[in-house]
């Protein structure tokens, strides 16, 4: 049974995974290169727990216990007793490979490894480690404490015991695990990101403005969030990375990233995290940038 979990990365996905793992009763070590980033992540976890407290999802005792379960570190040596380590770093394969190279010497031989990648080949990432049979994808949705789905992706070498242990952990976290095959972008992003990319093309070609595209999809398709607003929430750099994986992995022109999406990323307009994307978030209300 998985009781101690390491999380690599204290960004939005990393601290969300740490949150749900600790809430499920696991001891959590959360690592990042920056102490400031780690402290900011703990603060965000506290805010999210307060939100759950106000909604009656948890009580004061559970909140305090959850916070106490999470320890922060900048040293992978602190992962030596972990049963499972989940990598939740930036969506760049080279970065993930470097993390595994630095991480593996500190792990027990029987420790499991998982990646929260939203699109990269699990088989290829597993081959960069010393334990392909104990490696798999565990793709959480954002925001992790709220979204119920987790995609579980086996690489070609992932064994049954690894899959079952990670599936059981997902259920303990209160998630609904769905098995996905190791194809580019898996299930959710294979369907969702081409829709977002098509919305960007619709803007690029002048079919509609930011406002009109988002309003049309909210009122016409009953989507809770317009596709361009959603792109800003996901991060335009992440959207572009997933589309590049789809385009290169499936060799189909329908997955070609829209040039306007590329231009926004080149400009550093990445969405909410930079306060500017398809909307400008610097004022009291988001303002369309086109």
Confirm whether 209 is a catalytic residue.
no
Burial zone of 34 (CB within 10 Å; 0-12 exposed, 13-18 middle, 19+ buried): exposed
Confirm whether 118 is a catalytic residue.
yes
DSSP helix/strand/coil, 135: strand
Confirm whether 189 is a catalytic residue.
yes
Locate all alpha helices (DSSP H) within 136-284, ordered by sequence: 160-172, 188-204, 210-220, 227-234, 236-250, 259-266
Strand bridging mode 27-31 / 279-280: unpaired
The dihedral built from the CA positions of residue 90, 91, 94 and 96, taken in this order, carries a sign that is positive
Catalytic residue among 139, 165, 197, 241: 139
Catalytic residue among 19, 48, 116, 118: 118
Q: What angle do CA 216, 218, 221 make, to 5 degrees?
A: 80
Conformational region of residue 220, where left means phi above 0, alpha means psi within -120 to 50, and beta covers everything else? alpha
Inter-residue contact 202 to 271 (CB < 8 Å): no
Confirm whether 139 is a catalytic residue.
yes
Inter-residue contact 78 to 38 (CB < 8 Å): no
Catalytic residue among 116, 121, 189, 197: 189
Catalytic residue among 151, 170, 197, 229: 151
User: What positions carry a catalytic annotation?
Assistant: 118, 139, 151, 189
């Amino acid at each position: 049974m998985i009781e101690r979990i390491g999380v690599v990365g204290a960004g939005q996905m990393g601290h969300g995974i740490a949150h749900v793992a600790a809430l499920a009763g696991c001891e959590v070590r959360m690592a990042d290169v920056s102490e400031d980033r780690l402290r900011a992540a703990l603060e965000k976890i506290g805010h999210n727990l307060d939100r759950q407290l106000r909604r009656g999802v948890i009580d004061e005792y559970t909140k305090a216990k959850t916070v106490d379960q999470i320890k922060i570190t900048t040293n992978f040596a602190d992962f030596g007793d972990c049963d499972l380590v989940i990598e939740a770093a930036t969506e760049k394969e080279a970065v993930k490979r470097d993390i595994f190279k630095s991480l593996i010497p500190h792990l027990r031989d029987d420790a499991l490894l998982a990646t929260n990648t939203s699109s990269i080949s699990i088989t290829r990432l597993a081959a960069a480690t010393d334990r392909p049979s104990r490696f798999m994808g565990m793709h959480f949705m954002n925001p992790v404490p709220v979204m119920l789905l987790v995609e579980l992706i086996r690489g070609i070498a992932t064994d049954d015991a690894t899959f079952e242990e990670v599936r059981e952990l997902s259920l303990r976290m209160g998630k609904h695990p769905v098995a996905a095959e190791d194809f580019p972008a898996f299930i959710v992003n294979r369907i969702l990101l081409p829709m977002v990319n098509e919305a960007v093309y619709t803007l690029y070609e002048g079919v509609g403005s930011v406002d009109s595209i988002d309003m049309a999809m909210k009122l016409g398709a009953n989507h809770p969030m317009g596709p361009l607003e959603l792109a800003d929430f996901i991060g335009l750099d992440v959207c572009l990375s997933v589309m590049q994986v789809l385009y290169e992995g499936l060799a189909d022109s329908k997955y070609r990233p829209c040039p306007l999406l590329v231009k926004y990323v080149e400009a550093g307009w990445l969405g909410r995290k930079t306060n500017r994307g398809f909307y400008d978030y610097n004022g009291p209300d988001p303002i369309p940038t086109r």
